[in-house]
Structure 1
Amino acid sequence: MSRAANLALLILFPIAWFAPLLRAGLLPLFGLSEISVISGLQALWGTDAVLALVVTFCAIFAPLLKVLGRALRDFGLLAPEAEPALRWIGKLAMADVFLIALYIVVVKGVGLAHVEVAWGMYLFTACILASLYLGRNA
């Protein structure tokens, strides 16, 4: 069962990357722009390449490496000694969720913009938590 759940994450993560994480704008009356992991990364690459590289690793590569590593482990193609590295990579993936949550709190606290959490934030968070859970019970 855990093998199937882990492999399902290979499908769910890309959906979560393109799903709207939040809607943001100056006022809700004028419409809100939807921001996804991918659109946020695109904007970030134009302003701060170093931060974009860190966020790209945490949001895209870390979760994908964790799921692929877990799949290789599940099918006996990766040595058990790789387990600590897989756990560490999984924790890095969670950093991105905290970064997004922090952004939402800061923007709402300052009151300069209107921010709404969208369904993609819940999907992305659920995927990362599922990956951490599956790795813990391996």
Structure 2
Amino acid sequence: MNLSLLVLFPVAWMAPLVRAGLLPIFGMSEISVLSGLTSLWETDRFLASVVALFALLAPLVKTICLAMIHFGRLSPRALPVLGWMGKLAMADVFLIALYITVIKSLGVGRVETAWGLYMFTACIFLSLWISLWTKGKFDAGAVGCAPARSRQG
């Protein structure tokens, strides 16, 4: 299930998060994580880099590191750091929701949530759940195909 996120995250990044239009007479344009990052890169490269770090890089690194833990290639001591990475990725979903709320309250344009927002949110929640499940399994003694490790020296 964890490795499926390596496919699902990129799909969510390309999927439309919101449909936005200035006025009802103009068409609606779809905004994805990648199109938003491209637009942001043109105006504020630092902010675009921060968003890319938390929306793109952090979830991928976390997913890969969790897989490495499951296959016994990385110590479970990395789990607290991976938990924080997941929480920072969840901050992106919060910010998108906040932006939608602000734009809707201005009353100037129209904003509709699209399926990509739900998919991106589901990927983040699935990643968080896998982290908690992994932590619980290591606290209980073993995970998947990784052998339980003894702390005896």
User: What TM-score does the superposition give when structure 1 sets the normalisation length?
Assistant: 0.94
1:35-46 equivalences under 5 Å are 35-46=31-42
Range that drifts further, 54-63 or 24-33: 24-33
Q: How far apart, CA to CA, are the structure 2 residues paired with 1:29 and 1:22?
A: 18
Q: Does 1:111 align with 2:120?
A: no
Q: How far apart, CA to CA, are the structure 2 residues paired with 1:125 and 1:94?
A: 8
**Matched-pair identity in %:** 60
1:75-94 equivalences under 5 Å are 75-94=71-90
Consecutive unaligned residues of structure 2, counting only runs of 5 or more, are 135-153
Displacement of 1:66: 1.0
Deviations 1:69-116 (A, max 9, x none): 111111000011111111111111101101100100000011111000
Q: How far apart, CA to CA, are the structure 1 residues paired with 2:6 and 2:25?
A: 37
Deviations 1:6-31 (A, max 9, x none): 01111100000000000001124421
Give the aligned CA root-mean-square deviation in angstroms: 0.8
1:11-30 equivalences under 5 Å are 11-30=7-26
Moved beyond 6 Å, runs of 4+: none
| Number of aligned residues | 134
Aligned residue type for 1:6: N
Aligned to 2:96: 100
Aligned residue type for 1:69: C
Aligned to 1:69: 65
Structure 1 residue aligned with 2:123, among 102, 106, 127? Answer: 127
Aligned residue type for 1:56: A
Q: How far apart, CA to CA, are the structure 2 residues paired with 1:60 and 1:47?
A: 19
Secondary structure (helix, strand or coil) at the match of 1:133 reads helix
Consecutive unaligned residues of structure 1, counting only runs of 5 or more, are none
Range that drifts further, 27-36 or 118-127: 27-36
Larger RCO, structure (CA 8 Å, separation 6 or more): 1
Q: Does 1:6 align with 2:2?
A: yes
The structure with the larger Rg is 2
Secondary structure (helix, strand or coil) at the match of 1:137 reads helix
User: Which structure has greater helix proportion?
Assistant: 1
Q: How far apart, CA to CA, are the structure 1 residues paired with 2:88 and 2:19?
A: 25
